[in-house]
Amino acid sequence: MDTAIGGWHTQLYAQLNAALGSVLGERTAKEFQGLRIHTVGDLLRHIPRHYLSGTDLTELASLVPGELVAVTARVASLQQYQSRQTGARSRPGRLEATLTDGDGRLVATFFGKPHLLDWWEAQLRAGVAGLFVGKVGVFRDQLQMSHPTFVMMDAAGRIVASSEEKERLATLSSGGLVGMYPATAKLPTWKVAECARLALAALGDCVDPWPQWLRDQAEVMELREAFAAVHEPTSLAEAARGAARLVFDEAMSTQLTMAYRRADSAARAARPRPRIPDGLLAAFDAQMPFELTAGQQQVSEAIFADLSQSRPMQRLLQGEVGSGKTVVALRAMLAVVDTGGQAALLAPTEVLASQHYQTITGLLKDLGGGRMLGTPEVATDVVVLTGSMSTSAKRSALLRAASGEAGIVIGTHALLADQVQFAELGLVVIDEQHRFGVEQRAVLAGKAEAAPHVLVLTATPIPRSVAMTVFGDLETSTLTELPAGRAEVTTVVVDAATHPQWVDRAWQRVREEVAAGRQVFIVCPRIGGTKTGEGKGVVELAAELGEGPLSDLRLGVLHGQLSSEAKDAAMSSFAAGSVDVLVATTVIEVGVDVPNATMMVVWDADRFGISQLHQLRGRIGRGAHQGVCLLVTSIAVGEPARTRLDAVAATNDGFALAELDLEQRREGDVLGSAQAGSRSSLRLLSVLEHSDVIAQARELAAIAVTRDPNLRTPGFADAIRATDLLAAGDWLEHS
């Protein structure tokens, strides 16, 4: 191994992870923060969005006023305008160069004393193409650039080295290709280019971090070459090959991390938890209020098979909202309790944790009432633990978890706290994984002596490439069907701008639904909104409805700023049916289960993303009654936000919507907290565009683990460390 600083095994990683200031100086480094570029490696992986070639003329019609651009165009004509005053030969005048792409026109204007204008005119030869860099403006309906920096080209489109300007522009281009970087006002593209070149030049000794066999199989160029290829390309093909290497590196680093993590957990010993025929699980099955669907049965079998192994289960269970994941998870927990172990169920919100507690104790009946006189012999105790519980309630829950008395411990991330101990934690179930990072999973798993089995539940349908990237260390099962007798939800967009009377009609519909004995959710994007001028929030809307159109109904309010008692009270009175209409924020988004709720009105629906809306409406139509979801918006037809709503209204297929969502959003959002930080490990890799690269990297990572099971390859160790560091940074930012 090379000796490198800062805990890195390779010189290259040490250099790439050096702070940018060490190469560019602190002042410049600070300017890069806006581009989320903090290290030398960040900068070198910040690659041009596209390249301008001296041989192609820029389409002038595509220029947007206000943008800073580099334009390749031909000088069509030149005209000097003298000052009109007499004897003004020495006074400043104006030179106009009309540039053209053959079609459109752009006027480059230069101001100066006559001898300067003459000099410029000599540089800007009519009929010759040049590269002009500056800000596009409009003057008298004409595209215009004042004082562009420019260099002229020869017939082959190469920049000619004759002007003084060449010196400045040299940083822009070599071999006639000019990279256009994503830039900021303070950091125009040529400055980014110059800095990238400095960083590249400062990269010293550069042994490629990937071994030769891997580069051969992946058919990628060397890393140092790749950096040069993207920042100083001599051809577009070369630049593309360079970018391909950098994309591959991101895929490979994540896949290596996943592969070693998989191997690591496979090598850890877990206590096998074989299913027993006459325990708690069997007693529960005998009293279950419904038949399992075929899908639930298959997934359960796979889980039981995993649990009986002496290595820890690492399984992801994905299934549409309402597909019945909870009961599958519960049966896994019961199987573990049957072998003397405990199960922890981690939920993303307090509301959901209490909901799970109620659902699970409700399903278990006296099987979940603890081992007391009169309860069945196989019974266990179920406890809930959340951050806002009273100290005494918390103490009691902690005690029962630590003593092993509680077979099932349900909680929010409060379960991650140090003082939470288990007697024998055998299974960790994580609901709605997208809100938890890999690290949190690890913290919880760390509370067990032997590695616990892990089951992750998610209702967000995840396209396969995303699953491989984010959950690549998990086996995946999917519940595709919904339990029989489930009514479909009809979704309608209510255009409040063009048809304000439709909103009144919506409230009328709410009253009808309640009159029919059903219940209604009204969801608002905000808690309180009028102060910020952003429209109504839960508080205002509830007040307005209570005094106006819904004055005869029993309204409840639920949002994140309420105390947890108030939240629980609101939720349980809605669940009990003593509240007709619950006006709430998205705290009801995940998991909340009230089968009698059949209608949902989403206020300012355009504020929500596709997947979120799909999740939200999954809260209704959970019983036998037809559901209806109204998406209220003032956004006009054709706007992107409105198109999203129309898409949600058009289908109930979560997978189709997830794909659409992915196309519309940056991956960071889709990947959730695990990846979306300011220093995401995925700068260039797109889970949509590069799914084939991801698949290839996944295979190669598996080979890497077999060839090097003990992680001796310095570049592998560094790639994994870098990935973990970035993910940890993301997690810290989001927790």
Name the site residues for ligand ADP (rule: CB under 6 A): 290-293, 296, 319, 321-327, 459, 483, 591, 593, 595, 622
* Closer to Mg ion by Cβ: residue 39 or 326: 326
Which of Mg ion, ligand ADP, none is residue 593 near (CB under 5 to 8 Å by kind)?
Answer: ligand ADP
* Closer to ligand ADP by Cβ: residue 459 or 538: 459
CB of 326 to Mg ion, least distance (A): 5
CB of 422 to ligand ADP, least distance (A): 24
Q: Which two tokens stand for residue 77?
A: 């004509």
Which of ligand ADP, Mg ion, none is residue 324 near (CB under 5 to 8 Å by kind)?
Answer: ligand ADP
* Closer to ligand ADP by Cβ: residue 457 or 635: 457
Which position among 134, 341, 591, 618 is part of the footprint of Mg ion (CB under 5 A)?
Answer: 591
* Closer to Mg ion by Cβ: residue 352 or 583: 352
* Closer to ligand ADP by Cβ: residue 449 or 488: 488
* Closer to ligand ADP by Cβ: residue 178 or 330: 330
CB of 612 to ligand ADP, least distance (A): 15
Q: Would you count residue 41 as binding Mg ion (CB under 5 A)?
A: no
Residue 143 φ then ψ, to 5°:
-60, 140
CB of 433 to ligand ADP, least distance (A): 12
Which of ligand ADP, Mg ion, none is residue 52 near (CB under 5 to 8 Å by kind)?
Answer: none
Query: Counting beta carbons within 10 angstroms of the beta carbon of residue 623, is it exposed (0 to 12), middle (13 to 18) or buried (19 or more)?
Result: middle
Tell me the C-alpha distance between 342 and 568, whole Å.
Answer: 26
Please say whether the beta carbons of 729 and 677 come within 8 A: yes
Q: Would you count residue 322 as binding Mg ion (CB under 5 A)?
A: no
Complete DSSP assignment for 137-169: EEETTEEEEES-EEEEB-TTSPBPTTSTHHHHH
CB of 675 to ligand ADP, least distance (A): 24
Alpha helices in 516-609 (DSSP H): 538-547, 564-576
Pairing of strands 314-319, 68-81: unpaired
Strands of the 489-495 sheet, one edge to the other: 489-495, 627-633, 597-602, 519-523, 581-584, 555-558
* Closer to ligand ADP by Cβ: residue 39 or 323: 323
Around Cβ 366, how many Cβ atoms within 10 Å? 14
Tell me the C-alpha distance between 163 and 176, whole Å.
Answer: 16
Which of ligand ADP, Mg ion, none is residue 296 near (CB under 5 to 8 Å by kind)?
Answer: ligand ADP
Which of ligand ADP, Mg ion, none is residue 213 near (CB under 5 to 8 Å by kind)?
Answer: none
Stretch that binds Mg ion, among 326-334, 435-443, 491-499, 654-662 (CB under 5 A): 326-334
Residue 351 φ then ψ, to 5°:
-55, -45
Q: Would you count residue 324 as binding Mg ion (CB under 5 A)?
A: no
* Closer to Mg ion by Cβ: residue 32 or 436: 436
Tell me the C-alpha distance between 251 and 584, whole Å.
Answer: 40
Q: Would you count residue 348 as binding Mg ion (CB under 5 A)?
A: no
Q: Which residues contact 623 (CB under 8 A, 6 or more apart)?
A: 487, 595, 596, 598
HSE at residue 498, side-chain half, CA atoms within 13 A, is 6
CB of 455 to Mg ion, least distance (A): 13
Which of Mg ion, ligand ADP, none is residue 290 near (CB under 5 to 8 Å by kind)?
Answer: ligand ADP
Q: Which two tokens stand for residue 529?
A: 């909104």
Binding site for Mg ion (CB under 5 A): 326, 591
